[in-house]
Chain A
Amino acid sequence: MIANFGYKDGSGDFYISIDTDKCNGCGDCIPACPVGLLQIRENEYDPMADDNMVVVLEEHRKKIKYSCAPCKNEGKDSILPCVKVCLPNAITHSW
């Protein structure tokens, strides 16, 4: 499953996407994020399964543009720290 957390508004698309088929639940991305955006949680999108997945915390979902801003400073081609540490390449972003 691809879970898109974030929103679209007049200023653009701001989504962090997690591919749960790739995510192995290692949790390396959690300390990598300077604002504590991510958390490992039970997969609530499949109530019959018992697996875990990475989610973006609710309080950040409507302000990702600002929450993720500290990692966007280094120019267009820079890779976000959460993306960099994710060995299975489960995290992508829309900007």
Chain B
Amino acid sequence: MAKEFWRWKEYNWKSETIDWKDGNTVSCGIDVGSVSSQAVILVDGELYAYSSMRTGSDSPMSATNAMNWALEDTGMTQDNVHYVVGTGYGRVNVPFANKTITEIACHARGANLMYGNTVRTILDMGGQDCKAIRCDEKGKVTNFLMNDKCAAGTGRGMEVFADLLSIPIEDVGELSFQVDEEPPPVSSTCVVFAKTEATGLLREGWPKNKVIAAYCSAMSHRVVTLLQRIGVESDFVITGGIGKNVGIVRRLSQELGFETLKTNYDSQIAGALGAALFGRALAEKARN
């Protein structure tokens, strides 16, 4: 079988130090995105376990799979979870959710915990859409816009390019800097046209690093224009899968003139983490 360069790693994680049996409230957030699904389990607001995997064609199934994978080896079952919040593009497809919340609110809430309460601007670069969010010190949304009409500036576009150029998706960022000089960006933002353009550039003899650099640069420019509509205020962060791609992150910070904050958390779990935090608050609200 041909190597699939776009295929990113699926993974799960579990805390070694927390015993969920000591917790009063166990909440779970499930973020069913267009490309990846995450499940995050919190015990009294502390990160206990999470998983991240591909969504595939069956959203309810992937919600269940993500949940089960996060629960793996924890001794916990779904009955031990007090509150489940579904979020993301496929949030209506989480069969066991107590409530669904829009991913815009969840990303702001999640980023507030992951990066601290100084975060004011969040750019979520997801699999198939891109959201620019402004929030206050409590992680409450104050301004947002979403671009889910086309795949330009999304993870899906990057997957297409990784495959075209036979570069493993995790290496795209670093390789895009291994060029003699920064090439001009590809002129089309549309993924389909950009791919055609890239094929032409390869034929002209451009090395693939240079082509991926031109694409990263076009993608950064595209989302900068989105961000400018809502205005950028520091601290600025990038969540979602593209948050791990230095090729985009560094070019974007340069163009905006804002450094992005770093975190020890996984940038892809922001939505599910926010959902789980809302889940905890809602469970406690219902109890009182």
Interface residues of A (CB under 8 A from B): 1-4, 6-10, 13, 15, 44-48, 62, 94
In the bound complex, do residue B141 and residue A62 qualify as a contact, i.e. CB atoms below 8 Å apart? Answer: no
Pairwise interchain contact B147-A2, C-beta atoms closer than 8 A: no
- Tell me whether A45 and B104 are in contact (CB under 8 A): yes
Give Cα A7–Cα B147 distance, bound, in whole angstroms: 6
Contacts of B148 in A (CB 8 A): 7, 62
Interface residue? B101 (CB, 8 A) = yes
Complex alpha-carbon distance, A45 and B101, angstroms: 8
Q: Scan B211-242; emit 1 where CB is below 8 A from any A CB, else 0.
A: 00000000000000110011000000000000
Give me 17 A-to-B residue pairs in the complex whose CB atoms sit less than 8 angstroms apart, sorted by A's number. Answer: A1-B140, A1-B143, A2-B142, A2-B143, A2-B144, A2-B230, A3-B143, A4-B146, A6-B145, A7-B147, A7-B148, A9-B149, A44-B102, A45-B141, A45-B144, A46-B141, A47-B282
- Interface contact A47-B149, CB-CB below 8 Å: no
* Nearest chain A CB to B141 CB, angstrom units: 5
Question: Which residues on the A side are within 8 Å of B102 (C-beta)?
Answer: 44-45
Q: Tell me which of B147, B190, B278, B281 contacts A8 (CB under 8 A).
A: B147
CB-contacts of B48-103 with A (<8 A): 99, 101-102
A15 with B141: CB separation less than 8 A: no
**14 additional A-B residue pairs with CB within 8 Å, beyond A13-B229, A47-B99, A62-B149:** A1-B141, A1-B142, A1-B143, A2-B143, A2-B144, A2-B230, A7-B147, A8-B147, A8-B229, A10-B189, A15-B229, A44-B105, A46-B141, A62-B148
* A18 to B223 alpha-carbon distance, docked (Å): 22
- B190 CB contact (under 8 Å) in A7, A10, A47, A48: A10
In the complex the two chains form, what is the Cα distance from A6 to B278 in whole Å? 26
**Shortest Cβ-Cβ A-B pairs, 10 listed:** A4-B145, A7-B149, A2-B143, A45-B141, A62-B149, A47-B101, A44-B102, A45-B105, A47-B278, A1-B142
List A contacts of B190 (CB < 8 A): 10
